[in-house]
Structure 1
Amino acid sequence: MKFQYKEDHPFEYRKKEGEKIRKKYPDRVPVIVEKAPKARVPDLDKRKYLVPSDLTVGQFYFLIRKRIHLRPEDALFFFVNNTIPPSCCPFCLTGTEMLSDGQLLPSWGFPLLQLLVRKAGEGDF
């Protein structure tokens, strides 16, 4: 999956910005959320989030669902490096273990999440 943010901002810029944010907020994880190209979901009002490191991916799912006013019958998926992170995983681990850019170190940059939303059909669950 392509990330527009990665294409718009070179690695050095992302690295510097991530270091600056991590220094100022050591107990938070900076996260970029982008909508997948074919996702039929309203745009988010912002794509950068400063997430508490103890917040789980499942709790973040809930927050994003509320922000985009997603109906209960619609499925929401997050992808980090083409992998769906476990919903019980805290963001402090997501940021260090599943970075979407292999060049980034754990204390730098942003985990990049991509949203994919699809309508649940009969027999999907």
Structure 2
Amino acid sequence: MIVQEITTIGLSKAGDDKLDALKESGVFAEKMDGFRFAVALALAQGVIPPELPDRSPFLNVGSLDRDHTLRDAVEMLMPEQLRDTTPYRLIERLADWGVSELDAQSKAGEIDFAALFDQVAAKVSS
């Protein structure tokens, strides 16, 4: 089965609402920044997120990943997961997971970015 690559990145409806809340609360200046950070967090954590339950269009792929950095990172770090999907479909899932994780931390008090970076450093070192 050939899966067609998407041209518009999306999030689940719940993920989009959470990203809106993170922007409104000042965690991120722009939703695009939060989206990118969420992808990086999910990649660093090594999660394999499930399919999106629903999909709300968010942003054109060319605007989000102009230089293909996100696509290249996913292709390099998650080749096994790309057997049944495309890079940008996987990026949507990674972002949705990351946004949910950031939202949960935000609701629990405050996002500890230093602790997140320490977790990533510990995983990279091992």
Per chain length, whose mean CA-contact separation is higher, i.e. which structure has more relative contact order (CA < 8 Å, sep 6+)? Answer: 2
